[in-house]
C-alpha cells in the first residue's frame, strides 16, 4: 500500500511539473525539497535567478523572461544580506542576554570598545524599528520595551566591526 501511494504521489508530482513547464517554457528550475539555495545564471544574454525555498514541501520554482522574475512558492527574502555592511567584518565579539527578553537586552563586549556603539534593530521584513548611538563602554543596556512580541534582527557596530544576530521579544 505504501509503495502504491508513493507511486501515485510521484505521478501527480510529475504531471504537475510537466504541466508547469509546458505552460511556461521559461521556467529555469523546479524542485521539491526542504533546503534552500540561490544562484544567478547567465544564459544567452539573459540573467536568471534560481531560488529554492527553505522548509516548503511542495513544488517551487523561479523563472525569468527578460527583466521579469517569476516565482512559484514562498521564498523567504535574505534580510541579513541587506542589513550587513559588506565593507565591515562580522567579527565584533559580544554576548547578548537575556534572549528572549521582555523589556531590554544587554550587550556585553568581549573586546575593548573605543568608538561609539551603533545599535539597530530590524523586523523580519528588513524594516528598521529601532536605532540608537551609545557612548563607548563594555556593557550597554538597550531598552526595547516599545517593540511588540516577535523575532527581530539586532545589529551592533563599533571599532569598525559589526555583529548581527536574531533576538526574540516575549
pLDDT in tens, 99-114: 999 999 999 999 999 9
pLDDT in tens, 117-137: 999 999 988 899 999 999 999
pLDDT over 60 at 16, yes or no? no
Q: If pLDDT is split at 50, 70 and 90, which confidence band does 47 have?
A: confident
pTM over 0.85: no
Closest of 118, 121, 122, 100 to residue 168, by C-alpha: 100
| Ordered structural domains, the chain, with CATH | 2-72 (no CATH), 79-169 (2.60.40.3080)
Higher pLDDT, 98 or 74: 98
Q: Exposure pattern of 17-35 as b/e (b: 16+ CB <10 Å)? A: beeeeeeeeebbebeeeee
The vertex-159 CA angle with 77 and 86, nearest 5°, equals: 30
Amino acid at each position: 500500500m505504501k509503495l502504491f501511494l508513493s507511486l501515485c504521489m510521484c505521478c501527480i508530482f510529475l504531471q504537475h511539473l510537466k504541466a508547469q513547464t509546458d505552460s511556461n517554457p521559461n521556467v529555469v528550475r523546479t524542485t521539491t525539497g526542504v533546503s534552500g539555495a540561490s544562484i544567478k545564471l547567465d544564459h544567452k544574454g539573459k540573467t536568471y535567478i534560481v531560488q529554492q525555498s527553505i522548509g516548503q514541501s511542495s513544488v517551487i520554482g523561479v523563472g525569468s523572461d527578460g527583466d521579469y522574475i517569476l516565482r512559484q512558492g514562498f521564498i523567504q527574502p535574505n534580510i541579513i544580506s541587506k542589513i550587513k555592511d559588506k565593507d565591515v567584518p562580522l567579527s565584533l565579539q559580544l554576548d547578548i542576554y537575556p534572549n528572549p527578553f521582555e523589556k531590554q537586552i544587554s550587550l556585553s563586549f568581549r573586546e575593548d570598545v573605543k568608538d561609539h556603539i551603533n545599535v539597530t534593530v530590524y523586523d523580519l521584513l528588513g524594516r528598521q524599528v529601532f536605532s540608537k548611538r551609545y557612548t563607548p563602554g563594555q556593557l550597554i543596556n538597550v531598552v526595547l520595551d516599545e517593540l511588540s512580541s516577535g523575532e527581530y534582527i539586532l545589529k551592533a557596530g563599533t571599532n569598525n566591526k559589526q555583529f548581527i544576530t536574531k533576538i526574540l521579544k516575549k
